[in-house]
Structure formats: structure tokens, C-alpha cells
């Protein structure tokens, strides 16, 4: 099964590809459509779907490891994400049992992966959007670091845009990809531009790596790629983002500095930056379209007994 099946689906604004997707059952869920659009060509650390419990009652965002990935490492990171705090945290709320094929899920809400948002908008996002996004993500990572955690997985695809702000997903994707000490360059699912050099070479992920990854991700939002020329960056935060992307972790700014630079001196942070207008109209239209399509989507029901059908584990 390819990660990107049904990828022309609702997430990108088309009709859900029910014929193929809805036949597929993962744990207690039936897949409605893929979340990511392969046409963006941005690597995604997980296979992500919009899915629904077989009783039709709960719609979720469902994540699976890539074929060939280590399902135990994947599940360990998903388990760790259950305790994440902060405004943009997206903790897992359901996980596969350890002796079953790996998956985890969280309640559905309409979201566009950042690369899809750029595609829908027709190019790099407006400065206002990048400011709001960056401030909210920096605030969230600051909470995480305060918990003594390192996210180790910030990348363009890990950022989902929802109506009320971003959600940061793919927690621990770098750690899940390979154990420390193993070079991680070129591993599937890891977007090279947002992988900090010290982690690419096998180093243990540390908080300042998250600053690098966030800088790259915001550079992507503002320019369309994660390793931009300095001139391409909007003047307002050219300096701040360039500092994030230095090879030497010690030269990177703190999250507080970054948030201040992005907020442009607004002391209330993301709360005011996420006011109406923070998302471009077409991104909102795509969110509304996805929501409407998922509201309309119907999973097949196997006779009257369908709501009580026990979850069927998917043979691997």
C-alpha cells in the first residue's frame, strides 16, 4: 500500500477517493482519504489519513509508519506525544497495541499540511501568516523545552494549519527514523532542509536543533523552500531566520528571541497574531472544503451489525 494513495483527495481540494481508500481498514478505523498531497514533493515522516471509526461516530487523523520504518520506535514517539502541552501541541489520543501493526490517531479537525497550504495559496504565504505561524510554533516549542523535551521532527509537513492556528505533529520523527549515532541524511520521510546538521550526522536531538528546524520550516512558508538564499527571506525576519539556520547550534537564537523577532514587538504574541486574516482566503476555502467533504464522506457499513463490529487488525 502506497503512502500516497488517494492523495488527490479532500486535503488538496478534490473529491475523496472513496473507491480505494475506504476499503482500507486500520485498527478500528476505516480510511476516508489521505491527508498529504504527493504533488508537493515534500517528504512526510508518516503516512497520514483522515479516517473514521467503524461505528461511524469518530473521525480522526490517523498516522502510520512508512513501510520499512521501525514500528516500535514510531509507537514510542507517538506514546511520548500523548503528554505534550502548549497551544499548538497535537497529542496522540489513541495508539495501536504494542503487538499490533502500528498506528496512532487524534481527533479530526480540518487541517492543511503546510506544503498543501502553499499549493492552495499559489505560492509562499503572506508575511502576516508566517509571523503568526512562527510565533505560535515558537511558543509551543518553548513549553516543550520547558518540559525537558526536544521535539525532533519540526518540518514543513509536520506543521498543520487549522482555522485557529497551527498544529505541530510528527513528534520525534528524527528519533524514530534512526537511533542516535546513526547518520540520518537521506532517510525516508525526513525533509533534508529542516534536519539540523548535528542530527543529520547522528547526534542526539537537542532543543537548539528544534530552533534550526523551525527556522527552516518558516523559511519554507515564506519562500517555498527550506534552504533559501538569504535575500529571498522577507526583510522583516531575514536576520532572525538566518540565525536559526546557522550550523553552530550555539549561534542560534533562543525561542524567546525568535518569538519576539517574529511578533514584531507585539507583546501579546500569537494570541493577537492569530486574529481574523491570519490565513489567506484560499487556505480557508480549502479548509472549509475539506471539512464539508469529510462531513459528507460515508464509510461502508457492513450490515446492521456494523457499529458493533470489533476492530479488525490489519494484516501486515
Binding status of residue 117 toward another protein by CB under 8 A: no
**281 binds another protein per the rule CB under 8 A:** yes
**Least CB distance to another protein at residue 302 (A):** 10
Phi, psi angle pair for 297, to nearest 5°:
-60, 145
Residues 6+ apart with CB under 8 A from 295: none
**CA gap 116, 75 in Å, rounded:** 26
Confirm if 280 and 257 have CB atoms less than 8 A apart: no
> Does residue 56 interact with another protein by CB under 8 A?
yes
If one asks whether residue 178 binds another protein (CB under 8 A), the answer comes out as no
Shortest spacing between CB 298 and another protein, in angstroms: 4
Q: Looking at residues 11 to 50 of the shown chain, list those that interact with another protein (rule: CB under 8 A).
A: none
Among 41, 57, 229, 315, binds another protein (CB under 8 A): 57
The alpha-carbon radius of gyration of the chain (Å, integer) is: 19
Torsion angle of alpha carbons 300, 7, 280, 87, nearest 10°? 70
Q: How far is it, in rounded angstroms, from Cα 177 to Cα 189? A: 8
Q: Using CB under 8 A, which of the segments 78-86, 204-212, 223-231, 288-296 binds another protein?
A: 288-296
| Per CB under 8 A, 194 contacts another protein | no
Q: How far is CA 296 from CA 10, 20, 32, 292, in A?
A: 11, 17, 11, 6
What binding mask, one character per residue, do residues 156-175 give for another protein by CB under 8 A, x or -?
A: ------xxx-----------
Which is nearer to another protein, 235 or 295 (by Cβ)?
295
Identify whether the C-beta of residue 308 lies closer than 8 Å to the C-beta of residue 55.
yes
What is the size of the binding site for another protein (CB under 8 A)?
36
Does 289 contact another protein by CB under 8 A?
yes
Q: Which of 35, 295, 263 is nearest to 158 (CA)?
A: 35
Of 145 and 167, which CB lies nearer to another protein in the complex structure? Answer: 167
Integer angstrom CA distances of residue 74 from 29, 104, 172: 19, 9, 8
Under the binding rule (CB under 8 A), the answer on residue 256 touching another protein is: no
The verdict on 284 binding another protein (CB under 8 A) reads yes
- Contact between 287 and another protein per CB under 8 A: yes
Residues that bind another protein (CB under 8 A): 52-53, 55-57, 59, 107-110, 162-164, 275-277, 279, 281-282, 284-285, 287-292, 295-301, 306-307
Amino acid at each position: 500500500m502506497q503512502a500516497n494513495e488517494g492523495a488527490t483527495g479532500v486535503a488538496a481540494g478534490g473529491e475523496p477517493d472513496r473507491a480505494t481508500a475506504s476499503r482500507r481498514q486500520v485498527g478500528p478505523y476505516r480510511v476516508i482519504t489521505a491527508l498529504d498531497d504527493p504533488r508537493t514533493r515534500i517528504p512526510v515522516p508518516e503516512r497520514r489519513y483522515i479516517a473514521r471509526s467503524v461505528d461511524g461516530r469518530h473521525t480522526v487523523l490517523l498516522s502510520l509508519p512508512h513501510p520499512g520504518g521501525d514500528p516500535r520506535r514510531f509507537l514510542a514517539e507517538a506514546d511520548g506525544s500523548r503528554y505534550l502541552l502548549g497551544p499548538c501541541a497535537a497529542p496522540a489520543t489513541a495508539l495501536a497495541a504494542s503487538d499490533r501493526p502500528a498506528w496512532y490517531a487524534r481527533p479530526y479537525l480540518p487541517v492543511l499540511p503546510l506544503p498543501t497550504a502553499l499549493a492552495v495559496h499559489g505560492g509562499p504565504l503572506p508575511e502576516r501568516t508566517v509571523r503568526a505561524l512562527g510565533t505560535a510554533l515558537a511558543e509551543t516549542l518553548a513549553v516543550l523545552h520547558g518540559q525537558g523535551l526536544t521535539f525532533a521532527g519540526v518540518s514543513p509537513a509536520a506543521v498543520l494549519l487549522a482555522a485557529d492556528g497551527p498544529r505541530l505533529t510528527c513528534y520525534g520523527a528524527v528519533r524514530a527514523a534512526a537511533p542516535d549515532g546513526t547518520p540520518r541524511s537521506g532517510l525516508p520521510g525526513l525533509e533534508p532542509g529542516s534536519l539540523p546538521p548535528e542530527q543529520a550526522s547522528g547526534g542526539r536531538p537537542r532543543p537548539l536543533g528544534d530552533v534550526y528546524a523551525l527556522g527552516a520550516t518558516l523559511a519554507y512558508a515564506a519562500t517555498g523552500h527550506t534552504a533559501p538564499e538569504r535575500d529571498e527571506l522577507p526583510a522583516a525576519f531575514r536576520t532572525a531566520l538566518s540565525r536559526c539556520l546557522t550550523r553552530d547550534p550555539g549561534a542560534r537564537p533562543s525561542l524567546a528571541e525568535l518569538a519576539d523577532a517574529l511578533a514584531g514587538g507585539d507583546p501579546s504574541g500569537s494570541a493577537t497574531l492569530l486574529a481574523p486574516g491570519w490565513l489567506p482566503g484560499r487556505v480557508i476555502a480549502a479548509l472549509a472544503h475539506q471539512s464539508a467533504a469529510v462531513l459528507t464522506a460515508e464509510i461502508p457499513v457492513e450490515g446492521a451489525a456494523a457499529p458493533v463490529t470489533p476492530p479488525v487488525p490489519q494484516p501486515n
